[in-house]
Amino acid sequence: MLLKHWLPRHKTEGVAVAAGPKKLCSPSLQWLDPLTISRGGPMAVKVKEKIQGSGEWWIFINHKGKRKSKKVGDEKTALEVARKIEAKLTLGEFEIEKQEESGPEDVPSFKEYAELWLNDYIKAVRRPATHERYGDALKRYVYPTLGKKKITDIRRKEVRNLLLKLHNRGYSKSILRIVHASISGPMNYALDDEIIQANPVTGLTRGLQLKTKDNREIEPMNREEVHLFLETCKQSYKDYYPLFLCALRTGMRLGEILGLRWGDIDWHSKFIEVRRSYKRGNMGPTKTGKTRRVDMSEQLIESLRSLYVETHKEALKKGTGKIQEAIFHHDGIPTAQNSVRYIFKRVLKTAGLREMRVHDLRHTYASLLLSDGASPVYVKEQLGHTSIQMTVDIYGHLIPSANRDAVNRLDAHPDAPYTHPEKTEKAQPSEITPHSHAMVPKPGFEPGQAYAH
């Protein structure tokens, strides 16, 4: 038989253990290695703290295809109970059927296991934004329907009906994918812990073939709106003018702009090295995990250079002479995204412009470049898209004038049945005609003489 327990290393004295594979962990957390006590046979007892640091320890039993779990108290009690059950299993004196009177609370609810997955796995190996996104999806869409159900009672049709309900209400594809992942993740976690035998959610979105359009369509600013927005910002919120100008002249994501440092600017070559992103109080890599270079316009260079000079003067007044690394900050801390969004809405309202998102400044940058005839490849590189297909899919419909010009070029010679180059090195005959010099036969090959002899 197999007794598994997530033990700290200092508690393994006197126990014959075989170390299993290490669990994914965060460097800032002291995670516990999986240790096993093996006696052979198709049975298993596992002891585990449900949520790290909660002090609630559970026993999970898997014997002859049947599973059972029970909360038993602290770690010491859980270990003692597990060893007793192990001994009874070895002697054949333990029957799971006789333990059913413990009640439904023996099996954790979906919500309990989802919190375990969220805090023990997602928080450790994924970005804080991802942890927050999954947690929000669980609270808004999943817990009201599935939260109180035992994780062993979750059925495929229940998840299907939930996704269809959201789909019919018009939620976007991205929301449906997040909801599906926030359900499938805890189920896979329970599958690894042998609480369930299969994940009922696997392949569900492919089977449903949900076709959903995102509710938010791209509505970028035109040139007049961009000018009005920037002028209003310069007059009413001048401290934010360089930030919004940077967004409209580089197409960078908001987190990337807030993560900028003075050392990222190459004043001579006139480009910015995009290396990081600041979001929800955390500095991390860019969305794609890659760095890229974005070109700066002359107007943006002038604005950032003026900001640098002003920042340096303020540092001299303080007696340090050392400027802050971050370009856009408050007391050395990068500006919060919500602060930028608040000012953005204030500028829109003051200017009398329609409501939109800060991210629409990125769309505005791309659409104006493309409408001016910039190559989609260049726009793709500036935006940091992973593929040209993504750029074309998002912005292709925003350049109808360029498409019409391409068609009109086919009419360059309206009177000719086929298109011919306007200029060539040598004049070409309009039709094929025989020439006397081309029809002169070589000696010995005169017509009618090949068989004369």
Tokens read off for 451: 């068989």
Residue 164 has pLDDT above 80, yes or no: yes
Tokens read off for 338: 């919500």
**pLDDT top residue among 63 and 372:** 372
Which of the 8 DSSP states describes residue 119?
A: I
249: pLDDT confidence band, cut at 50, 70 and 90? very high
pLDDT exceeding 70 applies to what percent of the chain?
A: 68
By the 10 Å C-beta count (0-12 exposed, 13-18 middle, 19+ buried), 346 is classed as middle
- Of 29-33, 102-106, 201-205, 370-374, which gets the smallest average pLDDT? 29-33
* Per-residue pLDDT at 16: 34
* Per-residue pLDDT at 170: 87
Residue 276 has pLDDT above 50, yes or no: yes
Give mean pLDDT, residues 273-294.
90
Residues 6+ apart with CB under 8 A from 64: 42, 43
CA 239 to chain centre: 31
Distance CA 178, CA 340 (A): 26
**pLDDT top residue among 174 and 439:** 174
Q: Residues 199, 154, 169, CA angle at the centre, nearest 5°? A: 100
Residue reference for tokens 């062993």: 152
Give mean pLDDT, residues 387-398.
82
* Per-residue pLDDT at 61: 75
CATH 3.30.1280.10, applies to 223-301+329-400: no
Tokens read off for 132: 């927050």
Distance CA 177, CA 185 (A): 12
pTM metric for this prediction: 0.56
* Per-residue pLDDT at 25: 37
Q: Say if CB 196 and CB 307 are below 8 A apart.
A: no
Residue 100 has pLDDT above 60, yes or no: no
Distance CA 208, CA 292 (A): 38
* Per-residue pLDDT at 33: 37
Of 310, 336, 314, give the one whose Cα is nearest residue 242. 310
Q: Which helix (H) or strand (E) holds 368?
A: helix 360-371
- Of 120-124, 146-150, 183-187, 235-239, which gets the smallest average pLDDT? 120-124
pLDDT exceeding 90 applies to what percent of the chain?
A: 39
Give mean pLDDT, residues 403-422.
57
Residue 19 has pLDDT above 50, yes or no: no
Tokens read off for 184: 């499938």
* Per-residue pLDDT at 207: 65
**pLDDT top residue among 184 and 396:** 184
Q: Say if CB 28 and CB 39 are below 8 A apart.
A: no
Give mean pLDDT, residues 321-326.
86
Distance CA 76, CA 110 (A): 26
Angle at which helices 376-383 and 388-395 cross, to 10°: 100
CATH superfamily for 111-208 is Tyrosine recombinase, N-terminal domain (1.10.150.130)
* Per-residue pLDDT at 190: 86
Residue 355 has pLDDT above 60, yes or no: yes
- The mean of the pLDDT values for the chain is 77
Residue reference for tokens 């090959």: 445
Give mean pLDDT, residues 307-311.
93
* Per-residue pLDDT at 106: 65
Partner residues linked to 434 by β-bridges? none
Domain ranges of the chain: 2-104, 111-208, 223-301+329-400
* Per-residue pLDDT at 208: 67
* Per-residue pLDDT at 215: 47
Secondary structure of 249-306 in the HEC alphabet? Answer: HHCCCHHHHHCCEHHHEECCCCEEEECCEEECCEEECCCCCCCEEEECCHHHHHHHHH
369: pLDDT confidence band, cut at 50, 70 and 90? very high
**pLDDT top residue among 107 and 144:** 144
Structure confidence by residue, pLDDT tens digits, 194-232: 788 788 888 887 766 655 444 456 789 999 999 999 999
* Per-residue pLDDT at 386: 87
* Per-residue pLDDT at 258: 96
Residue 273, phi then psi, degrees to nearest 5: -90, 115
**pLDDT top residue among 172 and 244:** 244
Tokens read off for 124: 């450790």
Distance CA 13, CA 284 (A): 40
* Per-residue pLDDT at 78: 74
Phi-psi group of 412: left, alpha or beta (phi > 0 → left; psi -120 to 50 → alpha; rest → beta): alpha
Partner residues linked to 33 by β-bridges? 7
* Per-residue pLDDT at 39: 35
* Per-residue pLDDT at 120: 86
Residues 6+ apart with CB under 8 A from 416: none
Distance CA 137, CA 142 (A): 7
Secondary structure of 56-87 in the HEC alphabet? Answer: CEEEEEEECCEEEEEEEECHHHHHHHHHHHHH
Classified as helix, coil or strand, 150 is strand
